[in-house]
Structure 1
Amino acid sequence: MSERAVLEVIALTAEDAIAAQSGGADRLELVTDMAADGLTPPVETFAAIRAAVDIPLRVMLRAADGFAVGSPADVDALVRDARALRAEGAEEFVLGFLDAEGNADLVAVERLVAELEGCRWTFHRAIDRAGDRDAVRKQLADLPGLDTYLTAGAAEGVDAGLPTLLAEAARAGEPGYGAQILVGGGLRLDHLPVLRDAGINAFHIGGAARPGGWAEAVSARAVGEWRGVLDA
């Protein structure tokens, strides 16, 4: 329990980012449009946030709600987004796409990863919609830069996914299980002790950082409460 836990907070604006950093966030996930569960933010938003804070930023690459990437033209558009964000200084990303059978959409993922050469990235909660989580992990295991899975263990959230999270944590280091588990999706403070006891030490919050709801900015005090519990 001695290793400092990673706390990642969703930021939509520079105001969010400043509050999250002051509350003790280690990293931000940058998105827009939470009504669609988080899409690629404008380059201008990234630039404003990068100028406002000095903690790592992971930028979402996702153009529409759901976990299908869409047409080849949609993939081309995401590649252009990634290129523009990198040109502005983005170094870390978040992405994840499934095909109709619930397998990793390797065509789309590999195209984006090729554009992200040298960047670290998170495969996000698409893993929670996969037909076979173990198979998806093994499909992705050799892709360069993949260092994190953002997961609740189940599509319904951490309450339902806790047994899966604990089982996957126990497999750390096996083929397909080398990436860090970043728990998010219905995560509550009362989940933290059992997750930390299992060796999980990375946590992701969105709504929990906004007591006033998504229409309100991140609360530094709310982030600070999570930081305090994690550091206790």
Structure 2
Amino acid sequence: MTRRLLEIASNSVASALAAQAGGADRIELFDNLAEGGTTPSHGSIALARERLRIPLFVLIRPRPGDFHYGALEVDIMLRDVAQCRALGCDGVVIGALDADGGIDIAVCHELVQAAGPMQVTFHRAFDAARDLRSALEQVIALGCQRVLSSGGQASAEAGADRLASLVAQATGRVRVMAGAGLNADNIATVAARSGCQELHASAKAVQRSAMRHQNPALIGLSADWTATDTANVAALRAALDT
């Protein structure tokens, strides 16, 4: 059996390096994990490219919320894609929908063209589309190399059967990558049920602050944060390989 590819969603350069150390095959770099991810800073992208030995893909998303973008946001995304290309990234992760839940062909075509030689993943805007079968054909026509999906469900485990249907529909024209809610306990099962050869997970864990002083007046402002954990990545890799 072909070795399954493990992509780790990393919300910082430190997370990306932890993922690499744990056995990840590829990084998706982004910011603002709690809001579903947005485009990371220039400094984060540049440093990640310098330090990583594995492929680096960057999320292109100008804000949280829906995936229906105005002209100003499209211009931002095009500039971010150009930045990734100039920095030598291996790929970008894009997606846009029209107001009726279809793939926004015009916007996505611009983004794919701007990517040039970089690979393009269509992100989970796909799962928010009105009709996944039609959306998959549109993603293929755009020339994307892969689509990240949970089968339209809250988790890839819940959507595993739908993912299998999408894999069958794709017939090798695009790679369907399973993602959302994957961990060491379910990733192998989801891979087997869905037939996906690429799996996407965050492998995150809470990082405790080393601050000895914290202002008690700042109620609700936690000093802790969430980041990729090397041991969690290694557990995912072992589960897939076993």
Alignment of 1:192-211 (within 5 A): 192-196=188-192, 198-206=194-202, 209-211=203-205
> What does residue 212 of structure 1 align with?
206
Q: CA deviation at 1:46?
A: 0.6
Contact 1:17/1:52 (<8 A) preserved: no
Q: CA deviation at 1:223?
A: 0.4
SS of the residue 1:178 aligns to = coil
Q: Is residue 226 from structure 1 mapped to residue 225 from structure 2 by the alignment?
A: no
Measured at CA, do residues 156 and 216 of structure 1 come closer, stay the same or move farther in structure 2, by a change above 3 Å? closer
Measured at CA, do residues 16 and 127 of structure 1 come closer, stay the same or move farther in structure 2, by a change above 3 Å? same
Per-residue CA deviations over 1:49-98 (Å, capped at 9, x if unaligned) read 11111100110111011342421121111111111221122230101111
Contact 2:16/2:27 (<8 A) preserved: yes
Percent of aligned positions that are identical: 32
| Whole-angstrom CA distance in 2 between matches of 1:198 and 1:160 | 11
Alignment of 1:50-199 (within 5 A): 50-144=49-143, 146-173=144-171, 178-188=173-183, 189-196=185-192, 198-199=194-195
Measured at CA, do residues 74 and 194 of structure 1 come closer, stay the same or move farther in structure 2, by a change above 3 Å? closer
- Residue type of the alignment partner of 1:82: V
> What does residue 211 of structure 2 align with?
none
Q: CA deviation at 1:134?
A: 1.0
Contact 1:69/1:108 (<8 A) preserved: no
TM-score (norm 1): 0.90
Unaligned runs of 5+ residues in structure 2 are 208-223
Contact 2:69/2:96 (<8 A) preserved: no
- Residue type of the alignment partner of 2:84: L
Question: Which contiguous aligned blocks of 4+ residues in structure 1 show a shift greater than 3 angstroms?
Answer: none
Higher mean C-alpha displacement, 12-21 vs 197-206: 197-206
SS of the residue 1:212 aligns to = strand
SS of the residue 1:94 aligns to = strand
Contact 1:67/1:96 (<8 A) preserved: no
**Larger relative contact order (C-alpha < 8 A, sep ≥ 6)?**
1
- Residue type of the alignment partner of 1:147: Q
Bigger CA radius of gyration: 2
- Residue type of the alignment partner of 2:146: T
Root-mean-square deviation (Å): 1.8
